[in-house]
Amino acid sequence: MKKVLLTGAAGFIGSHTAEAYLEKGYAVVGVDNFSSGKRENLCDVENNENFTFCEGDIRDRDFVNALYAQHKPHIINHQAAQKSVPASVDNPHHDAEENVLALLNLLMAHKTHAFEQFIFASSGGALAPIPQGNKIPTEDDKPQLLSPYAVTKFAGENYIALYAALFNFSYTALRYANVYGPRQIPEGECGVIPIFVENAMQNKPSVLFAYPDMPEGCTRDYVHVSDVAAANILSAEKPANTVIHISSAIELPIAKIYAELMLAMGKDLPLHREGPRAGDIRRSVVDNARARELLGWVPKIGLKEGLKDLVLTVSYTAPSAK
């Protein structure tokens, strides 16, 4: 039985990935320090005999070395990260500690126990250039590096490629588009969907930050978290030794996403428009042809189905009778 050491296991994407690995017959050693992950996210896996949880901080080199020595994982799946772009600007030292130094601990611990594969959660949204006309960015396009967060993610990809060659292991760097689904929290750099959901649960309107020439809002490329978890499974089965976009490759304005969410929740709450925030990216969408070719991955859950699935997992206050 293959064993996966999964960092960020109590997080939004990490917990779904843990479940997917267990369902496929892998053993999983989940690691989290609960800086953003939640213990309740592990409720569906904590009693599985093939799941082991270790609370700790992967910035601690001794902790990581001990993990490898004790559990001897075959695959390292690194989902843990500092994920906020604004926070990376405000505190680049912390961003580098979380996204670079912790990664280096995981890579260099190969000397304690030689793993076979490394899977890395990178960012399509932060690294992909803004689309020009109808051309959707691919992995071959030069990445944009507009924040410390983007710099650390790109550095992570390059460190992994380097040490894969030096230490002779396989790797896959998954550049996620905007991920959504159950367990996503409306804090930090999470995208608008959980914010819209929380507002709707309280029967409150939401705000759309829009450029004057884009009244329907900025565009985004949303992919469901279960499809992201599936990409992590395929990466374990078919290591690609390159970076791969995990996306729907469908560009939608945020107002359209809000309208679909209102339909799924059976609500009709207004969406107030305000001017754009500083730094708002107008368009974000990435090509997924490489994922189809190298992993055999295709997104299976469309936005309508994904939003309906999300609504089923949340409780919201119905409008009071008048």
| 171 in active site | no
The string of DSSP codes covering 214-230 is: -TT--EE-EEEHHHHHH
Amino acid at 193: I
Q: Report how far residue 246's alpha carbon sits from residue 231's, in angstroms, rounded to the nearest whole number.
A: 7
From the list 181, 188, 250, 255, the residue with the least C-alpha distance to 218 is 255
158-174 burial, b at 16+ Cβ within 10 Å, e below that, comes to ebbbebbeeeebbbbbb
Vertex 203, ends 200 and 209: CA angle to 5°? 55
* DSSP 3-state of 313: coil
Count Cβ atoms within 10 A of the Cβ of residue 204 and give its class: 0-12 exposed, 13-18 middle, 19 or more buried: exposed
Q: Write down the catalytic residue from 21, 149, 163, 171.
A: 149
For the record, the structure tokens of 205 come out as 């309107």
Q: Report how far residue 161's alpha carbon sits from residue 242's, in angstroms, rounded to the nearest whole number.
A: 8
Q: How far is CA 243 from CA 97, 123, 174, in A?
A: 22, 10, 6
Q: Report how far residue 190's alpha carbon sits from residue 122's, in angstroms, rounded to the nearest whole number.
A: 15
Vertex 172, ends 20 and 286: CA angle to 5°? 90
Residues taking part in catalysis: 149
